[in-house]
Amino acid sequence: MHALTTPITMRLITGERHTRDLDVAWSYRPDDPCVISLDFRGSGSDAVWELSRDLLAAGVRTPAGEGDVHVSPFDGTRTLIALGGVEGVALLAVRTEELDRFLAATDELVPAGSEHSRIDWDHDLARLLAG
């Protein structure tokens, strides 16, 4: 199966009235069905974040997340994604319509709830044990 990569413009919120648009490559691979990658390298950063597909889907409708990643609906048209790191938290807004469209495309590749059938557990366990 083919991977899905879609450019999506996100807004970095740096202050009450300060924002900056970022071009982010959103990627999904059916061979890693629980993960959505956000590649910020096109925006001058070297960061690539891997987020849970389930977390993103849940956060569109209700606040979700623990630890370094939180996702929540914002104003009916945007979804907020907070990414925490050692240097602080990056608060990003994405149009909910675009996020929904991307998630629907991932569901066409691997229907939600069927991810476990796509994981090669023996291969993953061997990689873990090999260190």
For 41-96, how does the pLDDT look when each residue is reduced to its tens digit (9 = 90+)? 877 778 899 999 999 999 999 999 999 999 999 999 999 999 998 888 999 999 99
Could you tell me which of 52, 68, 69, 60 has the C-alpha nearest to residue 95? 60
Could you tell me the domains of the chain? Answer: 4-130 (2.30.31.20)
Higher pLDDT, 69 or 120: 69
pLDDT category of residue 115 using cuts at 50, 70 and 90: low
| Burial readout 45-83 (b: 16 or more C-beta within 10 A, e: otherwise) | eeeebebbbebbbebbeeebbeeebbbbbeeeebbbbbb
For 93-111, how does the pLDDT look when each residue is reduced to its tens digit (9 = 90+)? 999 999 999 999 999 998 8
